[in-house]
Structure 1
Amino acid sequence: MAEVQVIPPKAARPDTLRVAAYCRVSSDSADQLHSYAAQIRAYTQAINAHDGWDLVDIYADEGLTGTRMDKREDFNRLMADCRKGKIDKIIVKSISRFARNTRDCLAALRELFSLGVTVQFEKENIDTGTLTSELMVSVSASLAQEESISISKNQRMSYQRRMERGEFITCKAPFGYKIVNGKELEIIPEEARYVRWIFDRYLNGASMEWIADQMTKTGLLTSDGGHRWYISTIAYLLTNEKYMGDALCQKTFASTFPFTKQMNHGERDQYYVEHSHPAIISKDVFEKAQALLQRKGQRVDLQRECTPLSKKMTCGICGSTFVRRISKAGYVSWVCRKHDRKAADCPNGRISEDSIHTAFLRMYRKLRAHDGIVLSPILKQMDALSDAMHRDDPAMLAVNTAIAAASEQSYHLTKLHTAGLLDMAALSAKQTELNAKLTELRRERRKLLCNEDIDEQADAIRLTIDTIRSGPDTLPSLDEALFTRLVERIVVDTQDSIRFQLYGGLEFQEILEA
């Protein structure tokens, strides 16, 4: 009888591992910037020096929170490159640098595992290539999350105590003020002049829309740094008690982890502090404005809950947004803002909210039923285009390295000044030069990120199609969460026809039923 020897298959493994590193610092202090620069330099050297490792890129985020994934440009770029098959292994200093949110951390790690990408955490000595790593990561990430929550709680407790003593005013100055000494409001004369003008114009019969248009023409930025002033911006200004020198504290509060800001509808205590800072207008003027707002019925309820259609509907004829209207009989409709103001300015009148919901449900069912005819070909075309456009670009690595070098140079200059080896004049001159260089480098990095529009669109389309495919087979009524994940915008061409623009650029037309 012949002898049979079993030869087990060899595990498929590339000759070289394509390795990337992810770095993050959570503040813009000199020490943190030095850490940021040192991490990039160290990882670049270590990966290049390691046999069998090929450096893909160093992904680095500066001065950003780790509790939310959606604010980190380079982390999102890292995940996108992993989905494209560019990376085999990721090196991270610690789990707290990767994420401080257990849910997002594990979601990212599970996705990376499904893509065949392992993550090595140096501080915890964890490599997700081992079978038991996820449990260890879960424990460590939970500790990091608890640390983040504890820090946030301590900060909120500090704010709470200051509110109770009448010492806390605001974390962000409203238009017309600036924060000095970290806690006091000081009037900005030029902006204060416009605040008085806004109150005066409104009390003399001007509409909030006209005032917003005039303020936009001045070129002045809003308190949020926006170039355009909206009716809601003017309404908030007219109802802000800070302009008469008082302060209502805790109008908003942070929800549970991950932290998101919510309007305070009585869930938390509020504190009203009189004469807390210099007033721009008199109490009499402020109260007259509140009375007029009530009389005209124009007071904007800034705390109302938005519907899924809010800010998504645009008129295909004049480009105006659609606004929601509820009749006395309870009929809910949406109408072009320009038509609502003057019917002759735009022919797009009211359409019922129910008909829009019905049109979305009909579109969703069609896409589910005809996946192979509609969705699959689109996905194949985008993947083919993405592959054709795909090319290695060392420019991002070069920019990140230059940012790290400039940041490290800034740190060393500060150390020299502290040691008395560099006077303030020379330090300021050098720092100004370095800051200009860093600004230009960061602008260049943003441009490079924008150059990946095709890949980003392919990812968006893939996510949209996955959302449809993983959705329920039947949808008897509107699922608000599903609608929000799928629909980016609705264009109302006529009162009988609308177009749903989904994320990724997919667009489908539906006829509205009477």
Structure 2
Amino acid sequence: MRDLSRALGYCRVSTQRQHTEGHGLERYIERLKQYGLTEEQIHWDIESGASEKRQGYNQVLELVRSGQVDKIIVPCFDRFTRSALGWEVAREELQKFGVELIFLDGGSLDLDTPEGLFTSRILAAMSAQVRDKNRYNAIQGHRYFQEQRKIYQAIFGFIKNGDSVIPNTKQYRNTDKTYVDVARECVEMFIESGELSQTIRRLTEKYGLERFGKYKFEDFPRDVSSFRRWLENPLLCGMICYYPFDSQKKLILQSNHEGIISIAQHQHIAQILSTHPRGRRRYITNPLVGLCKCAKCGATMEKRSTKIKGKTYEHLKCPGAYPKPRQVKKCDVRTYFRLENAIDAAIQALKTKAESIANNMPVENTEVVPAEILELQQQILKLKQLNDPDFDSTITIKEQKLENLIKTSELNVVADASRTEVLRGIAMIQGFWEVVTREELTAIFHELVEEVVCSVADRSQSFAARLKI
């Protein structure tokens, strides 16, 4: 009979899909239970083995450091870690506290012997190699999809057609409308009301609260964040987006599929959504959330509220100077900046700009071709002049990037024109800033203000607001 009173089990899968569709995590946990561990002794994660921030993994190491563990049972080595460097850190902890690593597939690692150490390092290197190979294959797959303008999956209003999508002209539920008709109705309702929650409420009252079908593309989203992502998806207007959740890699290209709304409508949607910052509820008390930066380290300032004798005082602080537990202090600006002063600085900057527009004073020319576009065009021209087939793939990638930059530049021109109209309207209304609400300030600031830099000199606070136009 095994003595597992001082043992822990650990397992992990890399993605939520492996958990929900492959049931890998359930199988690992069941095998650890069959080994003799209880539910309380088993720790798990749904995260990459290369990450050192895994919650379950770090809980195991914490228990190791507290001297409560003699054995750690894992399905196999790569379920514990896929990082050679991460293994060296964990190995030191296990070795220091005399903890044995046991595999369900058989065998264990004796880290007190040179052979055991050598074996562990070989296993760590092999796990890292598999991780790197998977990552490389994924990158190559993404690149191939991008070059071929292939579409990963359909959204509501479309169905898959090979490597692309087509409008879904099938009957929607038991109505006399097609999926395309309902998708266009969703867009028109939102443009009419300008409110996400109100649009969803009207749609659910008409078509029902419960989603229809097994897959996301089979019905319109019923929650605000999903509905917003659907509206923002460029598939709606015949374009395609790669890396949508990575701001540095995000790429929007013209696709060959037929859109169900026009580009102008999609741009109109983007303009409306720009006045609805994400997570709006937390913005009501801080109209400048995400816009205030520390002049010393560039970190985004955080709001702090203090109640004294029934009165609430709102301040901004640099998170780099007030780090969370176990995080390194990165800044020495420990001043609490008054939020009201930052808001006043942003309003003053907008007032100055609004007056200049209202008086028909010259403004920046938004139609100047960005330097990045000119530079990219020159690079493509030079590569083509070399007439070397080896550079064909590089030229294709740069041309796609150029196309995306040009499209973004066109959208910026539209957005700048919209901001100009907003400012002109503000300038024409007498006493506007005296009656504007915090919610209205939030929409205005996130549409027109780039950032507000908070600095301190000789104990004197100052705020420099930079506008988007």
TM-score, normalized by length of structure 2? 0.47
| Greater relative CO, 1 or 2 (CA 8 Å, sep 6+) | 1
TM-score normalised per structure 1: 0.44
